[in-house]
Amino acid sequence: MIPQLLGTGVPIDSFVFRDDAGDERTIVVRAAAAGSDQPSLGWMVVLTDETDVAERLRRTERRLAGYRFAALVIGELSRARDARQLLGKVCELAVEQGGFAAAWAIVRDRAGGFVDAGMVGLDPNARAVAEQLRVGAETAVSSLLMRVGEGEIVYENDAAADKYAAWPDVAHRSGIGSYAAFGLVENGQLLVAVSLFAREPGFFGPEEQDLVETLRDEIQFALERLELDRKRLDAEEALSQSEHAYRRFFEDNPLPMWIYDERTFEFLAVNDAAAAKYGYSRDQFMRMTIKDIRPAADVPFLVDHVGHTGAGFEDAGFWTHVDSEGREFPVHVVTHDTEWEGRAARLVLVQEIAQVR
CATH number, residue 88: 3.30.450.40
Question: Are 151 and 45 found together in one domain?
Answer: no
Give residues with Cβ within 8 angstroms of 327, minimum separation 6.
none
Mean pLDDT computed over 197-208:
87
Q: Is 157 contained in some domain?
A: yes
Question: Are 313 and 265 found together in one domain?
Answer: yes
Q: Is 344 contained in some domain?
A: yes
Model confidence at 5: pLDDT above 50: no
Q: Is 66 contained in some domain?
A: yes
Question: Are 38 and 180 found together in one domain?
Answer: no
What is the pLDDT of the chain when averaged over all its residues?
79
Q: Is 243 contained in some domain?
A: no
Question: Are 184 and 75 found together in one domain?
Answer: yes
Mean pLDDT computed over 134-162:
72
pLDDT in the model for residue 304: 92
Model confidence at 131: pLDDT above 70: yes
Mean pLDDT computed over 329-336:
94
Model confidence at 7: pLDDT above 50: no
Q: Residue 329's closest CA among 286, 294, 279, 284? A: 294
Q: Is 25 contained in some domain?
A: yes
Please report which confidence band the pLDDT of residue 215 belongs to, taking 50, 70 and 90 as the band edges.
confident
pLDDT in the model for residue 148: 74
Question: Are 193 and 271 found together in one domain?
Answer: no
pLDDT in the model for residue 279: 95
Question: Are 67 and 174 found together in one domain?
Answer: yes
Question: Are 263 and 172 found together in one domain?
Answer: no
Assign residue 257 the CATH number of its domain: 3.30.450.20
Question: Are 8 and 117 found together in one domain?
Answer: no
Question: Are 145 and 91 found together in one domain?
Answer: yes
* Buried/exposed code over 274-302 (b: 16+ C-beta within 10 A; e: otherwise): bbebbebeeeebeebbbbbbbeeebeeeb
Q: Is 19 contained in some domain?
A: yes
Domain of 11 in residue numbering reads as 2-49
Please report which confidence band the pLDDT of residue 212 belongs to, taking 50, 70 and 90 as the band edges.
confident
Question: Are 95 and 136 found together in one domain?
Answer: yes
Model confidence at 51: pLDDT above 70: no
Q: Is 345 contained in some domain?
A: yes
Q: Is 241 contained in some domain?
A: no
Model confidence at 273: pLDDT above 80: yes
- Distance (Å, rounded) from C-alpha 112 to C-alpha 89? 23
Q: Domain count of the chain?
A: 3
The pLDDT tens digits for 54-73 are 566 666 666 666 666 667 66
Give the whole-number percent of the chain exceeding pLDDT 70. Answer: 73
Question: Are 109 and 194 found together in one domain?
Answer: yes
Mean pLDDT computed over 73-79:
68
Question: Are 45 and 132 found together in one domain?
Answer: no
Residue of 349 and 76 predicted with greater confidence: 349
Q: Residue 77's closest CA among 90, 93, 95, 65? A: 90
